[in-house]
């Protein structure tokens, strides 16, 4: 046999690399450079056009020690993530469980619940601003019919973040689709066996469905956690003039970073902010990965 003969294992790993080649090329050609540049820039007073002097850890120091708005923005973002991630995950599982039933017209319902995920961006935010209008909006009108005096939503600092979370809940259709797909993949025989053993629907759901979809839950939690920390557009549009009002209650991390970069042209400062956010998200993801083996169940996994 010639020395060109490869083992199957080697062959497979080469195929693997060829398949991920587009990403790797893209990463090194377009992402890696700016990434390293922003790390270097975070130690300077870079302002894009005229200045790039080394200032050591001054940016990090003043962010952590002096900057009140940095703390406000971090707090706002953590608040948002802490509520929106669990609520949207639970919401998506709940809806997909409902849509996994075999009832007439289920396709229509699936389409309806998925629709909000197709619509996106500024148009939706403007629509929600109208819906949440305290005096004339639909939300308060509906609440009024059941005798609830609705809050001032986007005008009351205590309600602005809940408003955004409510809006996010409306568009859980995207992750609902993932859950639905994985629920459909759960083997019928498991349910049949449980039924013979006399397990109720609820117990089947808790002990079969949930464990079988944990890989998707894990994926959803990780990605929506990362996405949650990057919230920007919603605040930029829905705080009216992009300042993060009222009373800074919508000043999220990325919005403040954007203001520093493109309004004050303090790019070095903004770069330092982005690296702090990176560290926070990185640590949280690591924790997630460490915790995963305790609750995520992969079928066919070797223990």
Partner 1 sequence: MKNLRIFLLILTSTTLMLSACAGFQTSDSSEGQTNEEGKTVVDFWSFWGSEIRRPIIDKIVADFNASQDEIEVKHTYSPWGDIWTKELAAIAAGNPPDVVINDINATAIRGKENQAMNLSEFIDDDFSDKFYPELWNATLYEGDSYGIPFNTDTRVLFYNKDTFEEVGLDPEDPPETWEELEEYAAKLDVKNGDDYDRLGFYPLWGVGYDVWLLNANGENYFGADNNVDTVNINTETNVEVLNWLKSWRDRIGEDVVNSYQAQIDSQQGNPFFSGDLAMLVQQPTFYTQISEYAEDLNFGVAPLPEYEPGNGHTSWGGGFVAEIPEGSSDPEAAWEFIEYLTGAEAQEYWAVQNFDNVANIEAAEAAAQSDEFSEEGQMVYQIAVESMENTLLTPAPVEAPGFYNYINPHVDEFFLGSMTAEEALAQAQADVEDLIESNQ
Count of Cβ atoms closer than 10 Å to residue 24 Cβ: 11
Ramachandran assignment for 239, one of left (phi > 0), alpha (psi -120 to 50 degrees), beta (any other): alpha
User: In the structure encoding, which two tokens stand for residue 156, read together?
Assistant: 């009351």
Rounded Cα distance, 183 and 296, in Å: 15
Q: In terms of CB distance, is 152 or 223 closer to partner 1?
A: 152
Q: In terms of CB distance, is 69 or 226 closer to partner 1?
A: 69
Q: In terms of CB distance, is 211 or 245 closer to partner 1?
A: 245
Minimum CB separation from partner 1 for residue 7, in Å? 10
Minimum CB separation from partner 1 for residue 54, in Å? 18
Q: In terms of CB distance, is 152 or 214 closer to partner 1?
A: 152
Rounded Cα distance, 56 and 45, in Å: 9
Minimum CB separation from partner 1 for residue 235, in Å? 13
Residue 192 preceded by cis peptide, ω within 30: no
Q: What residue ranges bind partner 1 (CB under 8 A)? A: 3-4, 6, 10, 14, 17, 21, 24-25, 28-30, 47-51, 62, 66, 68-69, 133-137, 152, 155-157, 243-248, 251, 259, 262-265
Minimum CB separation from partner 1 for residue 20, in Å? 12
Closest by CA to 208, choosing from 177, 186, 182, is: 186
Minimum CB separation from partner 1 for residue 134, in Å? 5
Cβ-based burial of 288 (10 A; exposed 0-12, middle 13-18, buried ≥19): middle
Q: In terms of CB distance, is 218 or 236 closer to partner 1?
A: 236
């Amino acid at each position: 046999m010639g020395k060109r003969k490869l083992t199957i294992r080697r062959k497979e790993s080469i195929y693997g690399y060829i398949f991920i080649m587009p990403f790797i090329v893209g990463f090194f050609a377009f992402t890696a450079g700016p990434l390293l540049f922003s790390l270097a820039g975070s130690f300077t007073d870079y302002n894009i056009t005229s200045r790039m002097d080394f200032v050591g850890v001054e940016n990090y120091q003043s962010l952590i020690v002096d900057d009140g708005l940095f703390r406000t923005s971090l707090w706002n973002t953590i608040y948002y993530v802490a509520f929106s991630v669990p609520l949207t995950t639970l919401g998506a599982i709940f809806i997909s469980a409902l849509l996994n039933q075999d009832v007439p017209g289920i396709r229509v319902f699936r389409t309806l619940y998925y629709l909000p995920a197709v619509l996106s961006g500024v148009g939706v935010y403007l629509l929600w601003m109208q819906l949440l209008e305290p005096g004339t909006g639909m939300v308060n009108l509906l609440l009024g019919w059941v005798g609830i005096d609705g809050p001032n939503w986007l005008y009351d600092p205590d309600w602005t973040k809940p408003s955004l979370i409510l809006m996010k809940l409306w568009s859980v259709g995207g992750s609902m689709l993932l859950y639905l797909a994985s629920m459909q993949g759960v083997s019928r025989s498991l349910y049949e066996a449980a039924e013979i053993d006399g397990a109720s629907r609820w117990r089947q759901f808790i002990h079969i469905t949930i464990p079988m979809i944990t890989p998707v839950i894990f994926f959803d939690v990780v990605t929506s956690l990362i996405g949650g920390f990057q919230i920007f557009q919603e605040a930029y549009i829905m705080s009216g003039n992009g300042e993060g009002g009222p009373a800074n209650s919508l000043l999220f991390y990325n919005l403040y970073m954007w203001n520093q970069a493109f309004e004050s042209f303090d790019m070095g400062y903004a770069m330092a902010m982005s690296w702090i956010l990176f560290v926070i998200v990185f640590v949280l993801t690591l924790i997630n990965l460490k915790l995963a083996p305790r609750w995520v169940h992969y079928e066919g996994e070797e223990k």
